[in-house]
């Protein structure tokens, strides 16, 4: 097996396992709605279920999530197989994280028709911030890395093209 597929595959499996283990720990040891304060007024572990996405959007629309996850999974696998981990680290790790996060939440939706969330951060008493999980962290960080790499590459191309002397045809 090619190293370019093996290493990302191992990382994806580890992240999915971490996501599923933490969700099962919460599911098996906490009542729905139960909260454990880790850092007062900032970080709590809260047993929560979500049948939608962040803030409950698309609530209960499992078919939508199945379709989007399969399409995204195929797209990201296609991008990953052509990615170069040595030269495109942000891009590649972004894809790896998005695949792991997508699969982690897909497993919940397929098995339970809901996602187990438990990480509850209180940002300056902004109480409507959604409760999330490891898969969600993977998705958000992955999107950030992926987009950052693409924007950086675009900026480099723009900088390179704008620094080239132009031919002045007014002679």
Rounded alpha-carbon distances, angstroms, from residue 163 to 107, 136, 156, 157 = 49, 40, 11, 10
What would the mean pLDDT of 4-9 be, rounded to a whole number?
Answer: 80
The pLDDT of residue 75: 85
Within 8 A by CB and 6+ apart from 115, the residues are 49, 50, 51, 105, 108, 109, 133, 135
The answer to whether 92 and 80 are in contact (CB under 8 A) is yes
Q: Tens digits of per-residue pLDDT, 29-63?
A: 999 999 999 999 889 999 999 987 776 677 777 78
Distance CA 86, CA 98 (A): 19
Helices (H), the chain: 3-29, 62-81, 89-112, 134-163
User: How distant, in Å, are the alpha carbons of 24, 91, 137, 142, 168 from that of 80?
Assistant: 29, 9, 19, 13, 43
Rounded distance between C-alpha atoms, residue 124 and residue 49, angstroms: 23
- Is the model's pLDDT at 147 over the cut of 60? yes
Write out the two tokens for 58. Answer: 């698309």
**This prediction's pTM:** 0.82
Q: What positions carry a catalytic annotation? A: 117, 136
Residue that is written with structure tokens 């002679």 in the block:
171
Tell me 48's DSSP state: E
Mean pLDDT (whole number) for 106-120:
94
The Cα 116–Cα 132 span in angstroms is 8
Is pLDDT above 80 for 12?
A: yes
Please tell me the predicted confidence (pLDDT) of residue 39. 94
What pLDDT is recorded for position 158? 85
Q: What pLDDT, in 10s, does the model give residues 100-109?
A: 999 999 999 9
């Amino acid at each position: 097996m090619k190293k370019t597929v093996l290493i990302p595959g191992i990382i994806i499996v580890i992240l999915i396992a971490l996501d599923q283990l933490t969700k099962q720990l919460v599911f098996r040891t906490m009542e729905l709605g139960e909260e454990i304060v880790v850092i007062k007024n900032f970080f709590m572990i809260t047993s929560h279920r979500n049948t939608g996405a962040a803030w409950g959007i698309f609530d209960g629309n499992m078919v939508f999530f199945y379709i989007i996850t399969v399409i995204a999974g195929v797209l990201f696998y296609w991008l990953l197989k052509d990615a170069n981990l040595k030269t495109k680290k942000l891009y590649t790790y972004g894809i790896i994280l998005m695949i792991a996060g997508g699969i982690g939440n897909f497993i919940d939706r397929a098995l339970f028709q809901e996602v187990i969330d438990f990480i509850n951060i209180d940002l300056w008493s902004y109480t409507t911030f959604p409760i999330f999980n490891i898969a969600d962290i993977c998705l958000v960080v992955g999107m950030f890395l992926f987009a950052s790499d693409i924007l950086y590459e675009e900026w480099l191309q723009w900088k390179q093209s704008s620094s080239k002397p132009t031919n002045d045809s007014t002679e």
